[in-house]
Structure 1
Amino acid sequence: MATAEARAKELENHHNDCLVQLSNPNIATMKEDVLYHFSLSTSTHNFPAMFGDVKFVCVGGSPSRMNSFINYVAVELGLGRPGDEYPNICAGTDRYAMYKVGPVLSVSHGMGIPSIAIMLHELIKLLYHARCSNVTIIRIGTSGGIGLEPGSVVITRQAVDACFKAEFEQLVLGKRVVRSTDLDEQLVQELLQCSVDLSEFTTVVGNTMCTLDFYEGQGRLDGALCSYTEKDKQAYLRAAHAAGIRNIEMESSVFAAMCSMCGLRAAVVCVTLLDRLQGDQISSPHEVLVEYQQRPQRLVGYFIKKSLRQP
């Protein structure tokens, strides 16, 4: 059986025509590109040598969670042992954390659309400068479920906004720009099959609502501000469920839009920590939440392992 690194090399040789692309012609004319929030630069770091073998990128909100993921996947791929330590490649900044083992890159993105968008601009440029090819990028995280038992895993088909529209809106030079938030359907099905293979927890495919806020933006009744009733909240969440929405988080729309614009194969895999139809506050014991948070890691780790073993 080929090692993970050997299989990654085979993928590279067969997919050199799938290099990561940017949707910005200005980058090609720059003598130096400083990835400020990563504390990396094309003039001080050899991106192809550091990152050229990357085939899988996993991103999530918390630095500690992404450190846990790289340790987990290293053991799964036979590239490390439990307890091994991996350096934070972005140690020169406190904005984001980045870890690498073999063909896998693990990066934190913070909380909310602005934070993940900044990270993605620099991450996609990093992959471009490294001349990476055939890259799959997956967001793993937590979310609030709608009509699902806590601990269920949702694989996102479409990221939608708070009006249930499958689009990401941004103001660019004062003008409204709208981008598609569709994700790779083949990748969705591959991940779903991996969950069937594992048979460890409930996994569903559904739409994911991406909001600008954790409290009012998600219809919670327990924030510092609230101008609606429990009845209003229930009507909104039930309408969301009827529209195919199965969970709510705060990063998927810009993630889907940016990856699509740059031709990256992308997916979102989030575990639900509660059913929002039943309440607003997360009250499960700490050890239960820790196990829930490991479920997307186990699913994506299995997917990577399976992908590297395929002929």
Structure 2
Amino acid sequence: MDKGKTPCCSPVFVQNPHLNSLKEDFLYHFDLGTGTHDLPAMFGDVKFVCVGGSPSRMKAFIEFMASELGMEDPKSEYPNICAGTDRYVMYKIGPVLSISHGMGIPSIAIMLHELIKLLHHARCKDVTVIRLGTSGGIGLEPGTVVITKQALDGTFLPKYEQVILGKNVVRDTDLDQSLAQELLQCSKELNQFETVIGNTMCTLDFYEGQARLDGAFCFYTEKDKQDYLNKANEAKVCNIEMESTVFAAMCKLSGLRAAVVCVTLLDRLKGDQISSSHELLQSFQQRPQILVSHYIKKQLGAKAAERH
């Protein structure tokens, strides 16, 4: 496996010697660059980066975070820092950055390449990155929040595999277990919803890749589906989504402390289609935000206490 190296001179480690020869590093999908923006001034104070698939959800998160941190301005419209592009959105309040990543491994991987370089160029230190998402549960009640222990591929192995220069490169998908435990403790303190730590299966597709029976194509039976999901259950998979393996692999390579926090919208052992009301789904989607905002407030409070 390609385990990468441990961080050395840079708090956010970028493993690319070719970047040193660039006159300017333009982060195309963010519409930000080292030659056009003062990245240390804009982002040097960032300590927490929260990412999620939906642009509207990540805007709602930064507004919620501003309120939770007491930094809310009733007249303020939080500007999209990536307004020059339509690929991703980015919002900032204090030390918290909120970014959308789209759906699936390719979309989040592109975002992460540019995010890691952004944090590196901004000379950020001690950064924690958390993915907030939705997922399908395995044997869990809808609305349960899952903190990922290990990110597994569709064969239940903790690896992310990518073809580079025609060769298969396999990378580890380890996540920070102490961070997972800290988040679980935060949920216990909140005592608002069920939260568990468990394995997360990451797939390349929403339909066939997740053993659904309701896609445009399906060449397997209901029994085949149930057998596969039962095997996932035996591998201690608690939920299924589409980004966690590459997220874990890239954060590990760059020395970033990382976690994945997803809410389940349905129990896949009982069906394929999401049938809950819009209002209920909205309340479910707020649960990872509530948990992570509590964690951030707790961390900032601890830092403030240390300074005094």
Is contact 1:18–1:134 with CA below 8 Å preserved after alignment?
A: no
Indicate which of 77, 102, 108 corresponds to 1:110.
102
1:57 is aligned to 49
Please list, as runs of the form range in 1=range in 2, the aligned pairs for 1:227-238 lying within 5 A after superposition: 227-238=219-230
User: What 5-or-longer segments of structure 1 have no aligned partner?
Assistant: 1-16
Spell out, residue by residue over 1:221-250, the C-alpha distance to the aligned partner (whole angstroms, 9 max, x if none): 000000111111111101101101000000
| 1:26 partner SS | helix
The equivalent position to 1:221 in structure 2, one of 213, 216, 232, is 213
- 1:249 corresponds to: 241
Other-structure match for 1:298: 290
Establish whether residue 39 from structure 1 lines up as the match of residue 31 from structure 2: yes
Which of 77, 80, 105 is the matching residue for 1:88?
A: 80
The C-alpha deviation readout for 1:144-187, integer Å capped at 9, x for no partner, is 00000000000001100000000000000001100000100000
Q: Indicate which of 168, 175, 182 corresponds to 1:183.
A: 175
- Give the alignment of 1:26-175 within 5 angstroms: 26-81=18-73, 84-175=76-167
Give the residue type in structure 1 aligned to 2:155. Answer: C
Question: Do the aligned residues in 1 keep the contact of 2:40 with 2:121 (CA within 8 Å)?
Answer: yes
Give, in angstroms, the shift of residue 20 of structure 1: 1.1
The worse-fitting range, judged by mean Cα deviation, of 28-37 and 219-228 is: 28-37
Counting matched residue pairs gives: 296
Query: Is the contact made by 2:54 and 2:100 (CA closer than 8 Å) also made in structure 1?
Result: yes
Give how far 1:81 is off: 4.0
1:277 equivalent among 269, 277, 291: 269
The answer to whether the 8 A contact 1:144-1:276 is kept is yes
* C-alpha deviation, 1:29, in angstroms: 2.5
Provide, for residues 244-272 of structure 1, a one-character-per-residue CA deviation record: whole Å limited to 9, x for no partner: 10000000000000000010000000000
Matched-pair contact (CA < 8 Å) for 1:71–1:84: no
**Structure 1-normalised TM-score?**
0.93
Residue 5 of structure 2 is matched in structure 1 by none
TM-score, normalization by structure 2: 0.94
Unaligned runs of 5+ in 2: 1-8
1:288 counterpart = 2:280 = yes
Q: Which runs of 4+ in 1 moved over 2 A?
A: 81-84
Structure 1 pair 220–133 and aligned structure 2 pair: CA distance change class (3 A):
same
Q: 2:256 aligns with which of 264, 268, 282?
A: 264
Q: Cα RMSD (Å) of the superposition? A: 1.2
The percentage of aligned residue pairs carrying the same residue is 71
Structure 2 CA distance for partners of 1:82 and 1:228, relative to 1, 3 Å: farther
Q: Which residue number in structure 1 is paired with residue 3 of structure 2?
A: none
